[in-house]
Every structure is written in C-alpha cells, then in structure tokens.
Amino acid sequence: MPTPPSKKPGVKPHLKRITFKAKFSAACTIAIVIVISVAFAADAKDNDRDKNNDQQAYCRYVTEQAAAQRDLLLVPSAVAGVTQPNTGLPMQVVWGLSGSLSNVRKSVLTMDAARKNCDLYSAASSAQQDVQYALPSLEKRALQHRLELIQQASESLDTLTATTRKMLDAQNMTRPMAFVLQTTKIKLDSDRADTQSKIVSLYTPAQLSDKPVKELVAEKQSREVYEQKALDKLSRQNDWDVALSVGAHQQISPLVDSRGAYGEVTVSYNLASHAINKHLDQAADAYDDWKKVQEGDIVRNADVLKQQVVNGISVQDSRLKALQEEQQQIESNLQLVGSAETTAALDFRNQLTTAQLLLQIEIGDATFRLDRLREFLGKNF
C-alpha cells in the first residue's frame, strides 16, 4: 500500500482536483471498454457468417472468457487500507483507485489472442473435417454411381429375359438354359442391397469445403503462426509495467480533519526479459516443428490422405486393366456365337451376355473410382 504524503494537522485539504482526476480516469476506462467491446463484437459478427454452428459456439465461448479477463485487467481496482508511516507520523486510512498501463495493454492483446484462437479453431476444424471425410465422401459417390450401373444392368437383363421367355414359349430353348438369367437377377438384387447398405452406413457432412485440402492446411498453419504471435505478445507484456495509484488519506490517530490527496506512479522492468523472450522465440519454433510431425494433426493427416489416394489410384488402375482384359475375351466369344442359332450356341451366348452385364458394372465402377481419385488428387494436392 503506498504511503501517502504527510499533512500538517489542522490544515484542511482540497480534494476537488484529485476527485476530478479519478472520475476522468474511470470514465476513460469505461469508454475504452465499450469501444473495444463494440469493435470486437462487430468483427466477431462478421466472421460468424462464414462459420458453422460448432465454430460459432466455440468462438462465443472463447470471446466470453477473453472478455472476462479483459474487464479484470482494464478496469481500475478500488483500494482501501490503514497505513502507519515509519517517520513517526500518525496512523492514517487511505482509499482510492489503482491501475496499470501494462494491464490496459494486456486487455487489448487478450482480445486479439482470443480472436486469433477462434480463427485457428475455425481453420483447423474445417481442414480436419475435409481430411477426415474425404475418402468416405468419395466412397459414397462411387457407391451411388454403382447403384446406377446396377439399375442399367437390371434393365438390360429384363430385356434379355423377355426375349428368352419368347424363345422358351416357342420351345427354342430349355428351362435349364434360362436359369442362368434368373441366377444373374439374384446376383444383381443382392449387389443392389449390399450397395445400399454400405451407403446408409457411411456418414458424411451435408457440405464440405470447396477449397483444396492443401489450401485448408496452409490456412490452418498460418492461423497457428498468428495465434502464437498473439500469445507471444501477451507474454512479453509482462516485461514492463507502469502502475498508477490515486486517492485520499485521513489521519485517524488522533482523529482530526486532515484529509488530503495522494498519487503514486511506479515503473517496473523485468531484468530477465531478454532471456524470457529468447525462450519464447525458441518455444514458437519448437511448436511449429512439433505440429509438422504430430500424429493426429491435420498436416500429418493430410499427408496420410494423399498417400491413401495415391495407393487407391494404383489399385483401381490395376483392377480396371484386369477387367478390360476379361471384357475383351467375352466380346471375342460373343462374336463367335453371334450368328449361331443352335441351342448350345444360344445357351452360351446368354451366359456370355449375363457375364458381360456383371462385368460392365465392375468396369464402370472401377473407371468412376479411378477418375474421381485422380480428380481429387489433382485438385487437393
């Protein structure tokens, strides 16, 4: 507690000037609080337009926490106490306001750090969501395309079945020879049900970001840099301080009318600030290095996703080549029996045709997956 200046007994002090200073200081502080609050609220409202519900909820939480800390730092403290000067003067009671320029600066930096933290969370969650659901989204699109292929094959099979029934009615074909069409129909229905089950078991968000993954990751990394710089500025603010105390004092032993004003300015500087700032710089570099290799971080997950897509392209390419070779063999056999009218030739042609229908589904599926994977790789990495 600051020691107020001594006053001669019997001399009535004049408090108008110090009272005006205290009121003016409090008014300025309140004005600063209002201006910062309005500015941050307007900026946060503009940013909320581009955020989803999760990001908006987190930003509101961070903002309220920072606002509480800002008010604690920015508004002066009311002080009161009893002091006994060590110069033999009478005991006195003192009261007034105490503030800190460093705290005022910290209040601004605290809100800035909260905004940077909010931006980082938004960028990180968007990138994480895109990386996490990239492959499920591609798989869902491929399965939906497979349903379309199955539907096309089913329609072609129905046409072939109708033709076969006419030949069966004309006794140009036996029922065992038509059984292969029924078997193929069962396979198609089973494939359709299995594909539909896979689709409903996959969860993907209603909408993913249109930005490439590499841009989302780069934005997340830049937001991390901004946040670390904001936190670094906030930590460095502890290096110095200018504290101001103003108020009044009153002698209480013996109790006489001896009220007077007092003011105190204290300047402090941390002698270890150079070493502290050096460690803060090293911590920022170490944080950046850690994020690049952290298992579960977006940068690492994006690298894993890229490798998965590359491997998927290799697998689908090999699959497509094998299927195309099978297709060539079936087409060659169909050309051999295309003009034959014997019962055995008709039976063999039905078998080849149904095999071709099933093969077309697999070729169309492999082609679609390969094209989508290549498109995804080119766009995002």
- Residues 6 or more apart in contact with residue 275 via CB below 8 angstroms: none
Q: What is the mean pLDDT of the chain?
A: 84
Retrieve residue 201's tokens.
């078991």
| pLDDT at residue 348, as a whole number | 83
Alpha helices in 170-263 (DSSP H): 175-201, 213-236
Which pLDDT does position 182 carry in this prediction? 87
For 2-50, write each residue's pLDDT tens digit. 444 444 444 344 434 444 444 444 444 444 444 445 545 555 555 555 6
Query: Do 196 and 147 meet the contact criterion of CB atoms below 8 Å apart?
Result: yes
C-beta of residue 263 within 8 angstroms of C-beta of residue 18: yes
Residue labelled with tokens 């003009």: 339
Half-sphere exposure in the Cβ direction for 365 (13 Å, CA):
24
222-266 confidence digits (pLDDT tens): 999 999 999 999 999 999 999 999 999 888 877 777 788 988 899
pLDDT higher than 90, residue 91: no
**pLDDT for residue 279:** 92
pLDDT digits (tens, 9 = 90+) for 149-192: 999 999 999 988 887 777 766 665 666 667 788 899 999 999 99
Mean pLDDT of 104-120: 96
Query: Tokens 């299995």 — which residue?
Result: 194
The reported pLDDT for the residue numbered 97 is 93
Percentage, residues of the chain above pLDDT 70 = 82
- pLDDT of the residue at 173: 61
Span 345-372, mean pLDDT? 92
> Which run of H or of E encompasses 135?
helix 101-169
